[in-house]
Structure 1
């Protein structure tokens, strides 16, 4: 999820280090999805906490949303706000769903027995619904994983991103700092309860009551904690912030699972601390950071520009990798590593090409047409 940092839409300087951190987190998401099929379950995935990058994205979005828009509502309508968000988010959503549709019938595997029974009209209907980012019901699950976006799994987080945007624009932007603090505290308790009782924060991608509850809980605290942070934080000047924040986010997301099957609550406490305390700290440090020269500036810009396209286009490629893993019984991590690296590099190249040849031109065209 990429915040609206387009200079044409805002005159404020933005935070380049936060751009870079978003890119680091997006790359870790890809490595998590590459490691996931090599585990026997959620307890032994090598990149065990990679899914928490989504919660980090939500917090970044809330922070930048408050910074970019809080003081502009006297001259910006709600409709104009949503127009900007749609221009920013939807082009890559459409491309990601299209790529998922193109590769759908070619990801043949025993773990997806439904694929070759799905008529083309139904797949195309799922794709068209996916373009809107609205979730599909379980009756239209064409892959068999009970995902609300079976052509591009990551679409679920964009659905909840839009919900947070709607709540912000229609209602919560009007909250005082006190009211917002109370909301964030309540959301923090709900998030900690979810993490500790379930053992983790994984989930949110299925259209049923329990999974929607998980998705909303994972969204409400980080997004509105980020918004609160943007209102109360007074960034200082910290040297080498990008390096230290990058290391910290990598350590947090690559940390092995804690407690095992016998003590699930321990891992829940770890994830609660990460999302409620460590992630806001990382964002504050990143916002306070001072860019160390042109090289770091270019790295942060590249990673920031890459992050949203990479998030939206990597999973259609990962489906092929997952199918290969499932069809190659007993493959080890070392045997899969060259293939995983190839997928990672391919996803980064595809994301960069998507950005330059599709996303930026389409957004520029939409801005001219709709402004």
Structure 2
């Protein structure tokens, strides 16, 4: 590892390794969601998979700053919001539809008949428009009961709004001070929650999500604005191992220390390393693929998790069966994400982009 070098990022440079790491994080969170249904945290081999969301937030801050810092002052704020909606919202809608179908037609259980039609419609609309609505008691009062990962997209949208309104205007010093305050917020949330940063997804832990996006998004912005790059020979495989190590980190009484360290220091360091790493030609296609399916996978997988939870409760499969289900299920979900990207997300975004240009 060499000392940090201050460089100007090349125009239109694409960070394939960071794309690949985003895909690795998305797969890890799918496996985490399978396993948390079966095992309590201390028995879950990927018990810190939920920290992938904090990695997403930090990477998002870096990517948004990289993509828009030099041009957002020259564009209408409405154009920025339209671009972000086109990029993000088609899959918000698609994930909500999948969640509704899984809720209504789950072959292994669930109780849709206990909900009035009007309430189901409200829950669905709240999911489509990302309006927090934690009313499903049988789904642990998830902010978005039909598509649980929507909670992080809600905060992603909030971060984008603040970025367009004033964050991009801040000096690096002001940005740094704001990030320090956000870091204090992370430590406070961890302490209040008994040492874990797992919150943000439920009505009870709603504001934990604010703390998590605030620090990580700002940290990602600072990485870009400061042009921090650490040159190394780690490459995609080395960085993937370093990222995965955080997800399989044991769930212990030391979480109050280890989780904030990972979020406050380790993830930003990985992005600094990833931005400066050299990608071996043989891994380019893998990184591009993982980068492309990461968001579709994240936004489409949770409908299957509710079905799996009901299956597990009903049939109590043994360890061998569970291993087979999780491995095959993860592969199938990656395949579904790939199909969703090709036959829904990409065409819809292309259509909306063309419509925007004609207006």
TM-score of the two chains, using structure 1 as the length reference: 0.89
Matched, 1:337 2:323: yes
SS at match of 1:101: helix
The structural deviation recorded for 1:359 is 0.3
Supply the distance in 1 between the matched residues of 2:139 and 2:278 (Cα, whole angstroms): 47
Matched, 1:272 2:269: no
Note the 1:321-336 alignment, pairs <5 A. 321-329=308-316, 331-336=317-322
The structural deviation recorded for 1:25 is 0.2
The structural deviation recorded for 1:137 is 4.5
Supply the distance in 1 between the matched residues of 2:179 and 2:356 (Cα, whole angstroms): 35
The structural deviation recorded for 1:145 is 1.7
Partner of 1:79: 78
Partner of 2:121: 124
Note the 1:280-319 alignment, pairs <5 A. 280-293=268-281, 295-319=282-306
Match of residue 344, structure 2, among 358, 362, 365? 358
The structural deviation recorded for 1:35 is 0.3
Partner of 1:16: 16
Supply the distance in 2 between the matched residues of 1:190 and 1:347 (Cα, whole angstroms): 35
The structural deviation recorded for 1:118 is 1.4
Provide Cα deviations, 1:70-104, integer angstroms capped at 9, x if missing partner: 11123212111110000000001111000111111
352-361 or 213-222, which deviates more: 213-222
Structure 2 unmatched runs, 5+: 1-9
Partner of 2:165: 170
Matched, 1:193 2:188: yes
SS at match of 1:202: coil
Determine if contact 1:115/1:142 at 8 Å carries over to the other structure. no
Provide Cα deviations, 1:244-294, integer angstroms capped at 9, x if missing partner: 1100010111112122xxxxxx1121001101111011001100011111x
Supply the distance in 2 between the matched residues of 1:100 and 1:148 (Cα, whole angstroms): 13
SS at match of 1:148: coil
Partner of 2:149: 154
Q: 1:108–1:117: structure 2 CA closer, same or farther, 3 Å change rule?
A: farther
Q: 1:229–1:349: structure 2 CA closer, same or farther, 3 Å change rule?
A: same
Matched, 1:44 2:43: yes
Structure 1 unmatched runs, 5+: 1-9, 260-265
Supply the distance in 1 between the matched residues of 2:222 and 2:80 (Cα, whole angstroms): 19
Partner of 1:4: none
Matched, 1:203 2:210: no
The structural deviation recorded for 1:52 is 0.3
127-136 or 12-21, which deviates more: 127-136
Supply the distance in 1 between the matched residues of 2:181 and 2:26 (Cα, whole angstroms): 28
The structural deviation recorded for 1:142 is 6.9
Determine if contact 1:238/1:285 at 8 Å carries over to the other structure. yes
Q: 1:37–1:74: structure 2 CA closer, same or farther, 3 Å change rule?
A: closer
Provide Cα deviations, 1:109-152, integer angstroms capped at 9, x if missing partner: 67x5x5321134432332122111121143xx274420111111
RMSD between aligned alpha carbons?
1.8
Supply the distance in 2 between the matched residues of 1:296 and 1:302 (Cα, whole angstroms): 10
Partner of 1:3: none
TM-score of the two chains, using structure 2 as the length reference: 0.92
SS at match of 2:49: coil
Matched, 1:241 2:240: no
Matched, 1:219 2:213: yes
Determine if contact 2:26/2:297 at 8 Å carries over to the other structure. yes
Provide Cα deviations, 1:227-246, integer angstroms capped at 9, x if missing partner: 11111133254334211110
Partner of 1:179: 174
Matched, 1:232 2:219: no
Determine if contact 2:72/2:80 at 8 Å carries over to the other structure. no
Higher RCO (CA 8 Å, separation ≥ 6 residues)? 2
How many residue pairs align between the two structures? 347
Determine if contact 1:240/1:291 at 8 Å carries over to the other structure. no
